[in-house]
Amino acid sequence: MISVLCVDDDSTYLSLEKRCLEEPGALTVTTAFSAPEALRAMETSRFDAVVADYQMPGMDGIELLKAVRAANPGLPFILFTGKGREEVVIEAFNDGVDFYLQKNGDPKVLFASLKDTIKKAVKIGAVWKAFHDSETRYRRLFETAQNGILILDAKSGKITDANPFLLTLLGYTREEMLGRKLWEIGYIRDKALAEQAAAVLKRTGYIRYEDLPLATKDGRVIDVEFVSNVYVVDNEKVIQCNIRDITDRRRAEVAVIESEERFRTILHSMQTGVIVIDANSHTILDANQKSLDMIGGTRETVLGSVCHSFICPAEPGRCPITDLGQTVDSSECILFNAQKEKVPILKSVTATTLGGKKVLIESIIDITEHKRAEVALRESELRYRSLFENMQEGFAFCRMLYDEEKRPTDFIYLNVNPAFDRITDTTTVVGKPVTEVFPGIKEAFPELFEIYGRVAWTGEPESFDLDFRPSEKWLHISVYSPAKEHFVAFFEDITERKAAAEAMKTFSEDLDRKVLERTSNLDDVNLSLMTEIDIRFNAEKQLSKNLNEKDVLLREVHHRVKNNLQIIISLLNLQSRYITDDTTLFAFRESQNRVRAMALVHEKLYQSTDLATIDLDNYLRFLGDNLFQFMGMRGKGITLTMDIRDISLAIDTAIPVGLIINELISNSLKYAFPEGRKGEISFTIHRQEHTLTILFKDNGVGIPEDFDWRDAMSLGLRLVCSLVDQLDGTIELDRTAGTAFAIVVREKE
């Protein structure tokens, strides 16, 4: 399914375009009435192609094309417009348009051609995307490779590309490497060897060096593995050289030699006792100072001895480890030191090789202090048990049970203290579910299950009071979770406290009742005042609502008038397509401009926060720009300047003034500058009280002396005079330098 975005400010033509292009199951059309609306649609939806008109207000088709290319370079773009000027076509193709079609001709043939062009553009876009994705993957691999990659031209032997890893490795920039041969840069200094390798590579297509020294830009020498092969790109042979830095591998080989020495250094500096034992004879080969201190001997008296003479209970000649890398977990043993004292130790054994010989490495830790800590822990446990058994608060440690939807279904008592049994009047509850100990408790106290389940699941502690009817007591319960799906609850009997609180509540209620009785009159007065306030508030609210509704209604009126005028413009536009006479066609276009001048007033009022007046400067500037664009005067050396200072007019005055300016500018553009003559059109509008003074002039060829402009046959000047009369105004013409009109009109009340 092909998804197309069609953009055109002509709603009637856009609707026709959608109907003619859409094809169920094959092509769907989304429409937009302006370039900004199209860009917003592209932010939320994916399209296979864009079809756009050229001439659109605010942002034309070329500007839309640039925005689309910036965001999505490969998206097919078709310019479908009635504007066929050569400079527009050139600009479109310079900015990357894929196809350019004009709206002239039979609609059936035109839209069939457009549909065929869309399908072609989508195919081209798919090919571009596939190529772009392939190029992106290659470039990403090339740029992020952790080995150096060098690309050479097979004929010249010159470097055409180098990846960032290689540039960093050798310390050169791309500019220093591109276009040069390997031996010209300096990192392969033997030119004869390089030329010989190039000859072998051309003949066999492959060459490899296990160890090749390269010199970096700063003079360092690094060892690399060098592999080259030849392949064809765009019918041209290229050479790819893969360069792997093996400096670390060389260093690792040296490090292996130094490893044993480091091992011995670490061994003798460790604070844990370590003994190295021959796996076959079980004699001690080495021992660090910590282990010698624990044994109480010297290296001379300990090395060469059988390890079991110091450490029990292992027997001489036996070892539980048989495989290299196997480890025996820590176990408690007894070490007999030189003073024949028994020292408790924790021993672990690992089998490995050292200097080609299988050895056992025993790690021994003196756990004398640990043993003392265990005794202290047992004493602490006894103190805790005494506190647990004698505390006055009830204690229960429980595990919560949940269903598949994580809703609590039951909980099991894992441990309780005697106070719990006393408070809840129970015995022997450990290991039992609560629903067995207290039948019906889940139905009687659903909130209890909810709180316990929530605490056990979230870990957030909670406290609450509960009327525990099975024991006829009020309990204050504090709950927290020490582990997931478990909780600990502390129970305090607060029956007497609750009784006292209830008595206090009764006393407080009696007091409140007496206060209420004494203040009833005040409440009546307050009620009366509140009633009056509510009445006034509701009246103000209704008034505000009515004003808002009128505001919305007035905006809707302006909007609908603007839309109706736009429909007239579109109908004139459609009708003009079937007119071949240039004079008639131009008359139609002028009528469109006049209707557009009226529609623009309603559009500005609809968009403005002030529905009563319109900003004259903004309105006339927009009107003038449209006229220059319509009559093709942009870039022709004719300028328009205006001076309008902070004037806002009501619609009854703004429309006639706009039509007067529209006709005067149109008349100057048509007649004042013949044969490509350059010049200036200017006008100023000043306001004093309710009077507007309009001074309009151009420096063109001027109106002939024998031309009766007040009784002209052309509609434009007749319309200007009529509009001036409607506004109770006067108009005078000055022919001394071009054409200048002085118009004075009054605003309508």
Cα distances from 194 to residues 163, 186, 212, 229, 240, in angstroms, run 21, 11, 11, 15, 15
The Cβ of residue 103 has, within 10 Å, a number of other Cβ atoms equal to 20
Superfamily for the 251-371 domain: PAS domain (3.30.450.20)
Largest separation between any pair of C-alpha atoms in the chain: 142
Residue 712 dihedral angles phi and psi, to the nearest 5°: -75, 150
Identify the CA nearest to 228 among candidates 209, 247, 249: 209
Question: Hey, which CATH number is domain 145-245, 3.30.9.10, 3.40.640.10, 3.40.50.620, 3.30.450.20?
Answer: 3.30.450.20
pLDDT (0 to 100) of residue 493: 86
Residue 324 dihedral angles phi and psi, to the nearest 5°: -60, 140
Is 56's pLDDT higher than 80? yes
Q: How far apart are CA 327 and CA 560, in angstroms?
A: 88
Average pLDDT over residues 205-224: 77
Higher pLDDT, 681 or 201: 681
Class of domain 2-141 as given by CATH = alpha beta
State CA 12 to chain mean position distance.
38
* DSSP 8-state secondary structure symbol assigned to residue 170: H
* DSSP 8-state secondary structure symbol assigned to residue 464: E
The Cβ of residue 602 has, within 10 Å, a number of other Cβ atoms equal to 23
pLDDT (0 to 100) of residue 557: 46
pLDDT (0 to 100) of residue 461: 92
pLDDT (0 to 100) of residue 263: 66
426-438: per-residue pLDDT in tens?
Answer: 888 899 998 888 8
Give the lowest-confidence range in 20-24, 33-37, 385-389, 682-686.
385-389
Higher pLDDT, 200 or 3: 3
Average pLDDT over residues 154-173: 81
Is 496's pLDDT higher than 70? yes
pLDDT band at 639 (very low <50, low <70, confident <90, very high): very high
β-sheet bridge partners, residue 363: 274, 348
* DSSP 8-state secondary structure symbol assigned to residue 145: -
Domain ranges of the chain: 2-141, 145-245, 251-371, 391-497, 612-746
pLDDT (0 to 100) of residue 138: 72
Q: How far apart are CA 125 and CA 94, in angstroms?
A: 18
Average pLDDT over residues 291-319: 70
Q: How far apart are CA 277 and CA 360, in angstroms?
A: 5
Tokens, residue 489: 């609850």
Higher pLDDT, 246 or 642: 642
Question: Helices 616-630 and 582-607: crossing angle, nearest 10°?
Answer: 150
Rounded to the nearest integer, the mean pLDDT of the chain is: 79
Instruction: Identify the architecture of domain 391-497 in CATH.
Output: 2-Layer Sandwich (3.30)
Of all residues in the chain, the percent with pLDDT exceeding 70 is: 82
Give the lowest-confidence range in 34-43, 441-450, 562-571.
562-571
| Omega prior to 313 cis, within 30 of 0 | yes
pLDDT band at 642 (very low <50, low <70, confident <90, very high): very high
Instruction: Say whether 251-371 and 145-245 share the same fold.
Output: yes
Give the lowest-confidence range in 232-241, 463-472, 515-524, 621-630.
515-524
* DSSP 8-state secondary structure symbol assigned to residue 3: E
8-21: per-residue pLDDT in tens?
Answer: 888 888 888 888 88
Is 210's pLDDT higher than 80? no
Cα torsion through 328, 329, 331, 337, rounded to 10: 60
253-294: per-residue pLDDT in tens?
Answer: 666 666 667 666 766 666 678 888 888 888 888 888 887 888
Give the lowest-confidence range in 158-162, 327-331, 704-708.
327-331
The Cβ of residue 235 has, within 10 Å, a number of other Cβ atoms equal to 5
**Could you tell me which residues come within 8 angstroms of residue 275 by beta carbon, excluding any fewer than 6 positions away?**
284, 286, 287, 288, 291, 307, 361, 362, 364
Average pLDDT over residues 154-166: 81
The Cβ of residue 371 has, within 10 Å, a number of other Cβ atoms equal to 12
Q: Which of 129-133, 364-368, 394-398, 648-652 has the highest mean pLDDT?
A: 394-398
118-143: per-residue pLDDT in tens?
Answer: 888 888 888 777 777 766 777 777 77
Indicate the residue type of 156. S
pLDDT (0 to 100) of residue 501: 80
Cα distances from 140 to residues 144, 164, 178, in angstroms, run 6, 11, 20
pLDDT (0 to 100) of residue 178: 84
pLDDT (0 to 100) of residue 743: 94
Q: Where are the alpha helices (DSSP H) in 355-494?
A: 368-390, 418-424, 434-437, 441-444, 446-458
541-597: per-residue pLDDT in tens?
Answer: 776 655 554 454 445 444 555 565 567 767 666 666 667 776 777 666 667 676 666
502-511: per-residue pLDDT in tens?
Answer: 888 888 788 8
Model-wide pTM > 0.75: no
pLDDT (0 to 100) of residue 157: 75
244-264: per-residue pLDDT in tens?
Answer: 887 777 776 666 666 667 666
Indicate the residue type of 551. D
Q: How far apart are CA 60 and CA 92, in angstroms?
A: 11
Is 213's pLDDT higher than 70? yes
Class of domain 612-746 as given by CATH = alpha beta
pLDDT (0 to 100) of residue 553: 45
pLDDT (0 to 100) of residue 683: 92
Tokens, residue 580: 């071949």
Q: Is 58 left (phi over 0), alpha (psi -120 to 50) or beta?
A: left
Identify the CA nearest to 642 among candidates 625, 654, 626, 630: 625
For 611-655, the DSSP string reads SSEEEHHHHHHHHHHHHHHHTT-TTTTEEEEEEE-S-EEEHHHHH
Indicate the residue type of 526. N
* DSSP 8-state secondary structure symbol assigned to residue 469: G
pLDDT (0 to 100) of residue 318: 42
Average pLDDT over residues 287-309: 80
Cα distances from 705 to residues 673, 701, 733, 739, 740, in angstroms, run 17, 12, 11, 11, 13
* Residues 441, 458 contacting (CB under 8 angstroms): no
* DSSP 8-state secondary structure symbol assigned to residue 428: -
pLDDT (0 to 100) of residue 412: 92
Identify the CA nearest to 747 among candidates 551, 614, 605: 614
